């Protein structure tokens, strides 16, 4: 009997060790499951803004980003609307636009593009904390830089499309009231969503977390496609505006958005939709890709990145 006690104690200790290990594995599995199912769409935009502006490390960069957005988009466009003739305006429409149906229910997706990148930033900060402070600051800087990049074209030649005057939904009334619709090429909507999904993937990779957050990266990619399609569905942009934005993004950051990534993006446009018809969708994708490659080819010999876009705008009829 005296010999059995140590043996029983060892067995008990082994069982306890196994139980602890099992509990750790179970806990890790639960945590992994939570990560796998976490959705960026559920991130709070107001809380993200509070988190960013409340951070001494991010506040100044965020305010500069906001200033760039207002200066290079709202102010520049409002000035052009109130002082017509100051900057030439081209019509960016293409015959293929008529094959894309007007779908008013896509307006919420269209208007989500700012919240789209803010939520992704909020997800990174909430999930990784201080590990992503520096990447978050770079994120904010790049968003402000995107608006300045697009304004290099807008300041020389504005562009518009033939959008229907539809105000049956309050959000369309807001669009018509607030947007003079003079900044179509390149599409800032498309530029912003491309930057969001590519930079999100890059940040995950830089901190060694890309494998665990594949579903979130895919969520952003699918969201970028949906917003790109929505700008066409609600007639805020032409099929000509998409390749111009893609070209601008390749020139903005060729490492994150090389031609191969652009081609993959175009191939997935309308791939999960039944509108437009398949034959029309194929032709639209072919046109987008062809014009994107034209801009790239012309940009190789141009002295300035925006020259191919400005030359294209000058080929189009004036408003």
Give me the DSSP letters along 143-189: HHHHHHHHHHHHTT-EEE-------SSHHHHHHHHH----B-SS-HH
Q: Is the pLDDT reported for residue 103 higher than 90?
A: yes
Can you tell me the mean pLDDT for 93-110?
96
Domain membership flag for residue 5: no
Instruction: Output the pLDDT for position 155.
Output: 96
Rg (CA), the chain: 24
Is 78:71 a contact under the CB 8 Å cutoff? no
Give the pLDDT band of residue 3 (cuts 50, 70, 90). Answer: very low
What does the pLDDT average to over 190-201?
A: 98
Q: Is residue 25 part of a domain?
A: no
Q: What is the DSSP annotation of 301-314?
A: H-SSTTHHHHHHHH
pLDDT, position 148: 97
Query: Per the domain annotation, does 19 fall within a domain?
Result: no
pLDDT of residue 33: 46
Residue 165's pLDDT band (boundaries 50, 70, 90)?
A: confident
Residue with the larger pLDDT of the pair 27 and 295: 295
* Whole-number average pLDDT of the chain: 90
Lowest mean pLDDT: which of 1-15, 19-33, 78-92, 147-161? 19-33
pLDDT at residue 26 above 80? no
pLDDT of residue 294: 98
> Which range has the worst mean pLDDT, 8-17, 88-97, 151-160, 246-255?
8-17
Domains in the chain: how many in total? 1
Helices (H), 38-103: 45-53, 59-69, 76-82
Confidence class of residue 211 from pLDDT cuts 50, 70 and 90? Answer: very high
pLDDT of the residue at 34: 55
Q: Are 56 and 284 in contact (CB under 8 A)?
A: no
167 pLDDT exceeds 90? no
**% the chain with pLDDT above 90:** 79
Q: Is the pLDDT of residue 159 over 80?
A: yes
Domain, as residue range, for 261: 44-315
Note whether residue 3 is domain-resident.
Answer: no
Mean pLDDT of 62-88: 94
pLDDT at position 168: 82
Three-state secondary-structure class, residue 318: strand
Which of 29-38, 85-94, 175-184 ranks highest by mean pLDDT?
85-94
Split at pLDDT 50, 70, 90, the class of 63 is very high
Whether 6 is covered by a domain: the verdict is no
Span 70-81, mean pLDDT? Answer: 93
pTM recorded for the entire structure: 0.88
Q: 194 lies in a domain? A: yes
Has residue 23 been placed in a domain? no
Asked whether residue 73 is domain-assigned, the answer is yes
For residues 310 and 319, give the distance between their C-alpha atoms in angstroms, rounded to a whole number.
15
pLDDT of 176 above 90? no
90: helix, strand or coil? strand
């Amino acid at each position: 009997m005296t010999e059995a006690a140590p043996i029983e104690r060892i067995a008990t200790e082994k069982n306890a060790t196994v139980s602890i290990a099992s509990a750790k594995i179970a806990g890790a599995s639960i945590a992994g499951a939570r990560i796998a199912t976490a959705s960026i769409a559920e991130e709070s935009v107001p809380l993200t803004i509070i988190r960013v502006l409340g951070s001494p490390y991010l506040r100044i960069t965020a305010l500069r980003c906001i200033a760039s957005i207002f200066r290079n988009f709202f102010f520049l466009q409002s000035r052009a609307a109130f002082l017509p003739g100051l900057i030439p305006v081209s019509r960016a429409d293409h015959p293929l636009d008529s094959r894309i149906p007007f779908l008013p229910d896509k307006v919420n997706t269209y208007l989500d593009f700012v919240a789209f990148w803010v939520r992704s930033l909020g997800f990174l900060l909430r999930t990784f904390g201080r590990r992503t402070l520096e990447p978050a600051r770079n994120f904010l800087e790049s968003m402000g830089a995107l608006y300045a990049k697009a304004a290099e074209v807008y300041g020389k030649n504005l562009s518009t499309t033939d959008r229907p005057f539809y105000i049956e939904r309050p959000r369309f009334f807001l669009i018509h009231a607030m947007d003079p619709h003079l900044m179509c090429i390149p599409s800032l909507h498309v530029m912003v969503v491309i930057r969001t999904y590519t930079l999100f993937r890059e940040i995950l990779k830089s901190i060694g977390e890309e494998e665990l957050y594949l579903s979130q990266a895919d969520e952003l990619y699918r969201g970028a496609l949906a917003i790109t399609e929505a700008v066409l569905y609600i007639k805020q942009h032409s099929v000509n505006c998409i390749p111009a934005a893609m070209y601008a993004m390749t020139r903005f950051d060729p490492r994150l958005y090389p031609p191969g990534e652009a081609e993959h993006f175009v191939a997935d446009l309308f791939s999960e939709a039944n509108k437009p018809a398949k034959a029309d969708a194929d032709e639209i994708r072919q046109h987008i890709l062809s014009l994107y490659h034209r801009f790239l080819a012309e940009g190789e010999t141009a002295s300035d990145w925006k020259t191919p876009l400005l030359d294209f705008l000058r080929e189009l009829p004036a408003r």
